[in-house]
Amino acid sequence: GDSVTQMEGPVTLSEEAFLTINCTYTATGYPSLFWYVQYPGEGLQLLLKATKADDKGSNKGFEATYRKETTSFHLEKGSVQVSDSAVYFCALSDPPNTGNQFYFGTGTSLTVIP
């Protein structure tokens, strides 16, 4: 079945460091891929998404490219800020095969220190 595997955290970085959070997926068909961010005490916010192979989603300096050949959707940011401290979830949606259900990774906690 469909699933998402995320790198385990927690991740601690200094401000302005480069960030990569790995995400790989398994899917029957051609899913859409998402990154969500959850700030402390809040719900999930959509950060970016990509709906087909080679698409690049980007938002707030974060980027992720849909790589079909490696079944990956790694999240990157060139220079993190303290305000980026949050939990990041990779997710996929594969409606033709799994209906409306989203599959989430386990989340990666990021702490950015000044």
Q: Are 104 and 89 in contact, with CB atoms under 8 Å apart?
A: yes
Residues 6+ apart with CB under 8 A from 77: 18, 19, 61, 62, 63, 84
Nearer to another protein, 17 or 44 (CB): 44
Indicate which single residue of 5, 22, 85, 104 sits in contact with another protein (rule: CB under 8 A).
Answer: 104
Least separation in angstroms between residue 81's CB and another protein is: 21
Whose tokens are 């993190």? That residue is: 80
Residues 6+ apart with CB under 8 A from 14: 112, 113, 114
* CA–CA distance, 96 with 113 (Å, rounded to integer): 42
Least separation in angstroms between residue 30's CB and another protein is: 9
Nearer to another protein, 19 or 34 (CB): 34
Least separation in angstroms between residue 42's CB and another protein is: 5
Identify the DSSP state of 26: E
Q: Write out the binding residues for another protein, residues 26-55 only, by CB under 8 A.
A: 32, 34, 36, 41-46, 49, 51-52
* Residue 57 binds to another protein (criterion: CB under 8 A): no
Chain residues in the site for another protein (CB under 8 A): 32, 34, 36, 41-46, 49, 51-52, 89, 93, 95, 99-102, 104-107, 109
